[in-house]
Amino acid sequence: MKKAIFPGSFDPITSGHYDVIKRGANLFDELIIAIGINADKKYMFSLEQRKKFIEDCFRDNPKIKVVTYQGLTVDFCLKNKVDFILRGLRNPADFEFEKAIAHTNRDLAPVETVFLLTAAKTSYISSSIVRDVIRNNGDYTKLVPKEVRIK
C-alpha cells in the first residue's frame, strides 16, 4: 500500500492545496493531510477550524485522512509507515525551498518527496494572500474551496 503525507499549516486550505490533494489522491492508496502544529506561529484559524475545513472538503473520499502532528515530518512518516511526502510547487522559488527540505528529509529517513506542479489557474494563490484578503474584507471565496467559509 502506497501511503503519502501532504503536510502543511493550511491556514486556510486554498484552492491550490485542494487541487494538489485531489490529484495526489489518485497517485496513492492513502493520502494523509497532516496539519503541522508550530507553537511559534500565529494562525488566523484555530487548529480545529483548519482541520474541519479540510475534513469537509474531502468527506466523500475514503482515501484521504486528516490528522494533526508536532515535530519533524519524517518522524511522523516513520511512526506511521509513510514512504512518500507530497508537495505542491507554484514557482521556482518554491522548488528551491522544497528541494532543500526534500534532501534533508531523505538524509534523515528513507522517505521520498514527490512534487506536483500546481494548476496554472491556482499557481498564484497562497494562504498568506488569502489571509490578507480576509483581513481586508475582500472576496476570498474565489481563492478557497467552497467548504472554507467564515461565519
Active site residues: 17, 41, 90, 127
- The backbone torsions φ and ψ at residue 85, rounded to the nearest 5 degrees and listed phi first, read -110, 125
Q: How far apart are the first and last CA of the chain?
A: 39
Asked if 20 and 58 touch (Cβ cutoff 8 Å), the reply is no
Distance CA 46, CA 138 (A): 21
Torsion over CA: 69, 62, 5, 131 (sign): negative
Helix H or strand E encompassing 86: strand 84-89
Q: Do you know the residue count of the chain?
A: 151
Helix H or strand E encompassing 5: strand 3-8
Asked if 66 and 54 touch (Cβ cutoff 8 Å), the reply is yes
